[in-house]
Amino acid sequence: MSEPRGPSDPRPNFPAADPPPAGAGAPSGSGAPGPSGGPGRPVGVPRSGGRGLVVLALGVAGLALLLALGSAIFAWRAIDQAQDAKDIALRSGPVVSASATSEPDGAAQTPTSSAPTEAGGTTPDDTPRSPGAAPELNERTVYRSRYQKEPLVLKASCSYSMYADLDEPRTRNDATGADIRFTRGCGNEPSTLRLEDGVEGTDAAAAGMTPQECADKIRTALIGEGQRIPVRKGTTICVTTDYAYAKAHGDPWRMTLIEVVGVGNDGSTTLQVTGWDIPDA
C-alpha cells in the first residue's frame, strides 16, 4: 500500500511497484548489465582487444627504431666517404685548368728564368774537370801579371830553328821546355813561328789585349796543329803554355801575348812578350 500523504505533500501519489518474484535474478552465465542496460562483459573474461593494441604499438616502435638506426649508419658512411674524398683531393693538390694557364692570343710570352750569364756573353761551366785537364778560362778567372813586354830576339841560319820558352821568358837552341819555334826563311820564303806540342794559341790577336780577350780568341780562332805563322812586323799572337809540362815542373800555367816588333835584314826577329799566371782553379 502507498503511504498516505498529507495535504501539504507536493509529490504525486503513485502506487508502489511490486517487488520482483522470489528467486528471480540475472540469467545464468550472463554478465552485469552495461551502462545502457544491455548485457555486460562476462565475469572472469579478459580484455583481449587492449593487449593487441599494446603489441601493435611495440612493433611500430621497434620498426621506427630500426629505421632510425639504418639512417644513422647511412649518414655515418656518407660522412666517412666525403672525408676520404677530401683527403684524396688534398693529397693530389689543386687542379689548374688549361684555360686558366694558357696565354690569350697575341699575348707576350714571359721567358723562363735562367742562370745569369757573365759579362761578355759566356756562361761559366761549374762542371768538375777531369784530372790533369786545364781549368776553363772565363770572366771569373783572375790572372796575375808575370812580366810585361819582355824582348826576345830569335836569330837562326837559313832553314834552321830557334826556340822560346815563355815561362821565363828565354830563348833556346833546343826544344826542351820550349813553347814556340822560330824557323828562318830562305830566299823569298818568310820566316815563320810554330807552336810546340801542348801549346795552344791564336793569330787573331791585337796589341794591348787583356788575358781574357786572348782566352776568348783562342777559344774561337784556334791555330791548327803544325800550322806555320808568317813573321811580319805587327804580327800578334796569343799563346797558353803547355799545362801538363808546367804542372810536372811546378810552374804556373801562363797566358802570353806575343808581338813581332822588328824583322832585321839578317833574318833576326824581335818579339815583345807579356805574360800572366793563370790560377789552377
pLDDT at position 116 is: 40
* Whether residue 2 has pLDDT greater than 60: no
pLDDT at position 27 is: 44
pLDDT at position 61 is: 81
pLDDT at position 38 is: 46
pLDDT at position 28 is: 44
pLDDT at position 118 is: 41
pLDDT at position 257 is: 98
Q: What is the pLDDT of residues 189-235, one digit of tens each?
A: 899 999 999 999 999 999 999 999 999 999 999 999 999 999 999 99
Domain boundaries, the chain: 155-278
Most confident range (mean pLDDT) of 55-59, 75-79, 123-127, 214-218 is 214-218
Q: Cβ(161)–Cβ(181) under 8 Å?
A: yes
Q: What is the pLDDT of residues 234-250, one digit of tens each?
A: 999 999 999 999 999 89
Quote the Cα angle for 148-150-156, to 5°: 155
pLDDT at position 110 is: 42
Confidence of residue 168 (pLDDT cuts 50, 70, 90): confident
E strands, the chain, in order? 144-154, 161-165, 170-172, 180-183, 192-195, 200-202, 229-230, 236-240, 253-263, 269-278
pLDDT at position 68 is: 77
**Could you tell me the sign of the dihedral formed by the alpha carbons of 154, 155, 158, 163, in that order?**
negative
**Span 80-88, average pLDDT:** 68
pLDDT at position 81 is: 72
**Span 117-144, average pLDDT:** 69
pLDDT at position 195 is: 97
Q: pLDDT above 70 covers what percent of the chain?
A: 63
Chain position carrying cell 686558366: 100
Residues paired with 272 in a beta bridge? 151, 259
**Span 92-114, average pLDDT:** 44
pLDDT at position 233 is: 95
Confidence of residue 86 (pLDDT cuts 50, 70, 90): low
Higher pLDDT, 222 or 13: 222
Q: Cβ(280)–Cβ(274) under 8 Å?
A: no
pLDDT at position 90 is: 61
